[in-house]
Structure 1
Amino acid sequence: MAGKPRPEREALERQNAALIAVFERAGFDHIAPDIIQPADIFLERSGEDIRARTFVFTDPAGAEMCLRPDLTVPACRYHLSHADDPSAERRYCYLGPAFRFPDELLSPQEFTQAGLEWFGAADPIAVEARVLKLTISALEAAGLQRYRVTFGDVGLFSALLEDTAMPARWRQRLRQQFWRPAAFRELLDSYQAAGEARRTSLFPLVSRVAAGDALEVVEAEFAARKLPLVGGRTPLEIAERLAGKAADLAETPLAAAKAQALNAYLAIAGEASAMDAEFAKIAAGQRFAGARDYYVRRLFEMEELGLNPRRFHFAAGFGRELEYYTGFTFQIEADTAHGPVTVAGGGRYDNLLSDMGAPRPVPAVGCAIHTDRLKAVLA
């Protein structure tokens, strides 16, 4: 930022003032979260892209810290430290620097991010539509005229997974791997295989676990081989994983039709307003039906705000970038001479605040605008 010529810096400041003014007029309190943050929540709950590009260091006391790679987690920490009741509705906006190792076009290692976070709102569907509307309004106030909106819905996938009969531990693993498409496909394929086909090089140890006490087997193996503990896992954690593998060998393989339904859903993409007809083709139960209804009502709320869902694109697999998303996700792209550039994105993340210490889950929806990219697009 310091190296920018003065006219260019002034133009960026005017653009950013226009963005933040839209949020402030909508009733969002302007906050300034700390730049230096504990690294653990970013490394545990952010997507692989952010984890790999975060500036991490150790403070004199030995704690692992980082320069904030985005402002959502810092805004959550601000809320938890300042709100008398973390569950009460609060609305925040911000404008400040974030830091990542660059890996793509128009991405300096220090960039400015504008955004908003809406916590504890009572009407989740209306809030999701409102956050998308505010993001678009801010971009248009800054001068953006041509853009594309893509969104997904992690909640639809979660509901379909809950409707799919399988052992609970399989469902949990698939949910954990949703953000890693290749690992997800490999895991799903393994559940369709017969017990014999699911055997690995660990099978002799797994078979001993199946026949006895898992923890005793693991401790005996470590003692006999004089193996050191690596990777931070305790013998109990290792025993639990091996016990799970032993149980998997005895399970009935996942029916091909169930796996096909999950894959068929993740392949759905097209005009957002036409997607419910595609969802209807997926054989599922009541939870998925409820998630479909939620989706349709969200489109209605968008139309009530003057948005046109027929101009938006839906992709069932979208939302695999940040692991803390739990529902609606969106991004806004603009074209440049070098190809499309994502200038904004956001979504719902209802579990993040409780993961960070809130006594109960707090509904949360937010957005972030990459202001340097936006300036480059407008230029």
Structure 2
Amino acid sequence: MRAEPAVPADALALIRAPFEALGAETVDAPILQPLGLLLELAGEAMRARLFVVQSEGGEETCLRPDFTVPVVRQHLESGRSSGRYFYEGKAFRASPEPGRPDEFRQIGLERFDEQGASPVVADAEIALLAWRSALAGGRGDLSLWLGDIALFAAFIDALGLAEPLAARLKRVAARPRLLAAELARAEAPAPAAAEGARLAGLLSGLSEADAATVLEEMWALAGIDPVGGRSPADIAQRLIRRAEAAQAPALTPAQAEAIRAFLAIEDRPAAAFAAIKAIGGQRPGALDGALAAWDQRLTLLEQGEVPADRIRFAAALGHAFDYYDGLSFEIRSAALDPERAVAVGGRYDGLPARLGGAAGARAVGCMVRPWRAWAGGEA
């Protein structure tokens, strides 16, 4: 495993200072995290980037790839309805680029607000926090890239699609590979049912509990000992979704082309939103609320002294984990590849509920990579 070099203490202190100024509660997270949960949130493709750890006969775990999920779990265990948590420590993900570090430092903050709290101001505050921290590292070539999963959902509503199809597209919005597969279905004839598809179809008529029981009985009869950290219920749910996707109507070529045009938009925010309105579909009014929220966010960002010429909007912006369901952002350096962001963050209101919390809570956070933020660091 290749470790990231250390940032000099004085530079690290400057990058950390905007977080410390908020007075948030300092938290840590266990190095070992449940593998099955993280794969459920990020998709099976993430497995290749995780460092898996398993004792004999024990549950599969992995080295902490990120702090957000562990901090959400700690917040839920506290029983609080709101809170702000600051963290700093090592995270571990295998780099897709040879020679790049697999072990690296993160500094971040997760913010949880009560149900009914307006997300727009919190979104801007978190993006400004990440911007100020990244800027403190001394790079003069930073830019703030914005995206919005909720705007994609509003665009899907504007197309007037059948509800099952619209719901499926929203579900895969943050997973580029799955979204591309949905778009490809508009051009290709439906394939013949494979063995796995027939099994998925059989399970789709059962409740989740009954489907999990059927799988367990099949494994027992075949003498199979399942591996991978996923429960029968998790596997059954995925098979049922696969069956639903195969049976549901596909996009028309025109609808697929409209979505591709949306995802290709990458420009200054005003130009990007004008382009989105221009392809607004059958119900363009469905975009009004999401676009009005962006007017307010941009005003707050500019008041926070993010130069307007450093802000870009990319409709397809996404992160490794698919729990983001609103604002998403990256801070990039012109000296680094766009895939190596200095900071990332976004809104994930649905994640606490997925982990057992109350529905309707608000959650947003950000993370800065000090080695990338520091002017003398990653190149």
Q: How big is the shift at 1:347?
A: 0.8
Native 8 Å contact 2:106 2:367 kept in 1 = yes
Aligned match for 1:18, one of 7, 10, 14: 14
Query: Cα deviations across residues 121-158 of structure 1 (Å, max 9, x unaligned)?
Result: 62311111111111111122232322122111111101
- The answer to whether 1:347 aligns with 2:340 is no
Native 8 Å contact 2:159 2:280 kept in 1 = no
Which whole-Å CA distance do the structure 2 matches of 1:166 and 1:228 have between them?
Answer: 44
Corresponding residue for residue 118 of structure 1:
111
- The answer to whether 1:324 aligns with 2:323 is yes
Gap change, CA 1:360 and 1:51, over 3 Å in 2:
same
Corresponding residue for residue 262 of structure 1:
259
Gap change, CA 1:238 and 1:56, over 3 Å in 2:
closer
Native 8 Å contact 1:49 1:321 kept in 2 = no
Native 8 Å contact 2:2 2:100 kept in 1 = no
Corresponding residue for residue 138 of structure 2:
143
Corresponding residue for residue 36 of structure 1:
32
- The answer to whether 1:287 aligns with 2:283 is no
Corresponding residue for residue 269 of structure 2:
272
Gap change, CA 1:173 and 1:108, over 3 Å in 2:
same
Native 8 Å contact 2:135 2:373 kept in 1 = no
What are the ranges of 5 or more consecutive residues in structure 2 without an aligned counterpart? Answer: none
Deviates more, 1:342-351 or 1:275-284: 275-284
What is the one-letter code of the residue matched to 1:99?
F
What TM-score does the superposition give when structure 2 sets the normalisation length? 0.80
Native 8 Å contact 1:20 1:114 kept in 2 = yes
Native 8 Å contact 2:121 2:297 kept in 1 = yes
- The answer to whether 1:200 aligns with 2:192 is yes
What is the one-letter code of the residue matched to 1:349?
Y
Q: How big is the shift at 1:168?
A: 2.8
What is the one-letter code of the residue matched to 1:76?
V
Q: How big is the shift at 1:117?
A: 0.9
Gap change, CA 1:16 and 1:264, over 3 Å in 2:
same
What is the one-letter code of the residue matched to 1:142?
G
- The answer to whether 1:156 aligns with 2:155 is no
Which whole-Å CA distance do the structure 1 matches of 2:40 and 2:239 have between them?
Answer: 22
- The answer to whether 1:101 aligns with 2:101 is no
Over the matched positions of the two proteins, sequence identity in percent amounts to: 31
Corresponding residue for residue 66 of structure 1:
62
Higher Cα Rg, which structure: 1
The RMSD of aligned alpha carbons is 3.6
Deviates more, 1:66-75 or 1:18-27: 18-27
Q: How big is the shift at 1:115?
A: 0.8
Which whole-Å CA distance do the structure 1 matches of 2:273 and 2:87 have between them?
Answer: 35
What are the ranges of 5 or more consecutive residues in structure 1 without an aligned counterpart? Answer: none
- The answer to whether 1:178 aligns with 2:173 is yes
Which whole-Å CA distance do the structure 2 matches of 1:43 and 1:254 have between them?
Answer: 28
Native 8 Å contact 1:272 1:309 kept in 2 = no
Which whole-Å CA distance do the structure 2 matches of 1:309 and 1:106 have between them?
Answer: 35
Which whole-Å CA distance do the structure 2 matches of 1:356 and 1:247 have between them?
Answer: 29
- The answer to whether 1:56 aligns with 2:48 is no
Deviates more, 1:313-322 or 1:92-101: 313-322
Query: Cα deviations across residues 183-221 of structure 1 (Å, max 9, x unaligned)?
Result: 42332342466xxx3242449x97xx79xx967xx99xx
Secondary structure of the 1:307 match is coil
Secondary structure of the 2:84 match is strand
Query: Cα deviations across residues 85-136 of structure 1 (Å, max 9, x unaligned)?
Result: 2x32x11111111112233377422211111111116231111111111111
Which whole-Å CA distance do the structure 2 matches of 1:351 and 1:359 have between them?
Answer: 9
Gap change, CA 1:12 and 1:299, over 3 Å in 2:
same
Q: How big is the shift at 1:245?
A: 6.5
| Corresponding residue pairs, total | 354
Native 8 Å contact 1:214 1:239 kept in 2 = no
Aligned match for 1:79, one of 46, 65, 75: 75
Native 8 Å contact 2:91 2:105 kept in 1 = yes
Q: How big is the shift at 1:328?
A: 0.9
Which whole-Å CA distance do the structure 2 matches of 1:240 and 1:102 have between them?
Answer: 33
Query: Cα deviations across residues 228-260 of structure 1 (Å, max 9, x unaligned)?
Result: 888976897699568646854xx5x64443333
Native 8 Å contact 1:20 1:94 kept in 2 = no
Query: Cα deviations across residues 289-344 of structure 1 (Å, max 9, x unaligned)?
Result: 211111222111212222233321111111153211111111112243x7554211
Secondary structure of the 1:342 match is coil
Secondary structure of the 1:280 match is helix
Q: How big is the shift at 1:55?
A: 1.3
Secondary structure of the 1:81 match is helix
Native 8 Å contact 1:35 1:67 kept in 2 = yes
Which whole-Å CA distance do the structure 1 matches of 2:292 and 2:3 have between them?
Answer: 50
Corresponding residue for residue 305 of structure 2:
306
